[in-house]
Amino acid sequence: MAKVKIPDNKVQELKDICKSFNNDPGELINVLHQAQQLFGYLPAEVQEIVADEMNVSVAHVYGVVTFYSFFSMLPKGKHPISICMGTACYVRGAEKVLDEFKRRLDVKVGETTPDGKFSLSCLRCVGACGLAPVVTIGERVYGRVSPDDVKKILDEY
């Protein structure tokens, strides 16, 4: 694992987050949510600081981080792409759309392109089932996406 160093001021911010939850181990997930917001992801160092502040083992923090799909230990791309794989999208062909993204970006699900531009992930139901299949890039939502649209969508970025 590449060593990531975190700037001092961010360390303080992170500690403040822990403190705002009274360093209560029961609030670990809430803390991790905010930490991920702060750093964009949860590198090992962040988890170590959180563990230290909240007086739980690093293994416990890591166990929690790896349990929940919302938490990531890898930085997301500049434009995070999410393919909805909810049932409604699935039956309307989301898998083929996903395949096309994988093919075009040459990354697997959960990976980021080497240039850091795009990262690809799947999620379960954004609740826009009427627009199925749905793809989100950043805040933008694309509905009724077909594999043929993929190139056009990527070209926007």
Which one among 2, 67, 114, 155 touches another protein, defined by CB under 8 A? 67
Q: Could you say whether residue 39 binds another protein (CB under 8 A)?
A: no
User: Which listed residue (52, 75, 104, 111) binds another protein by CB under 8 A?
Assistant: 52
Asked if 63 touches another protein (CB under 8 A), the answer is yes
In the shown chain, the binding pattern of residues 69 to 108 toward another protein, with x for contact by CB under 8 A and - for none, equals: xxx-------------xxxx-xxx----------------
Binding residues for another protein, total number by CB under 8 A: 58
Rounded to 10 degrees, the C-alpha dihedral 137/133/100/113 comes to: 20
Query: Phi, psi (5° rounding) for residue 123?
Result: -140, 165
Describe the crossing of helices 58-67 and 28-39 by its angle, rounded to 10 degrees: 80
Q: Considering beta carbons, is residue 115 or 139 the nearer one to another protein?
A: 139
**115 or 124: CB nearest another protein:** 124
Exactly one of 97, 132, 145, 150 binds another protein (CB under 8 A); that residue is 132
Distances (CA, A) of 148 to 53, 57, 69, 104: 49, 48, 29, 11
151: tokens are: 């190139």
Residues pairing with 123 in the sheet: 84
Per the document, the length of the chain is 157
Cα–Cα distance for residue pair 100/144, rounded to 1 Å: 15
Residues that bind another protein (CB under 8 A): 1, 3, 5-8, 11, 24-30, 32-33, 44-45, 47-49, 51-52, 56-64, 66-71, 85-88, 90-92, 123-132, 134, 141, 143
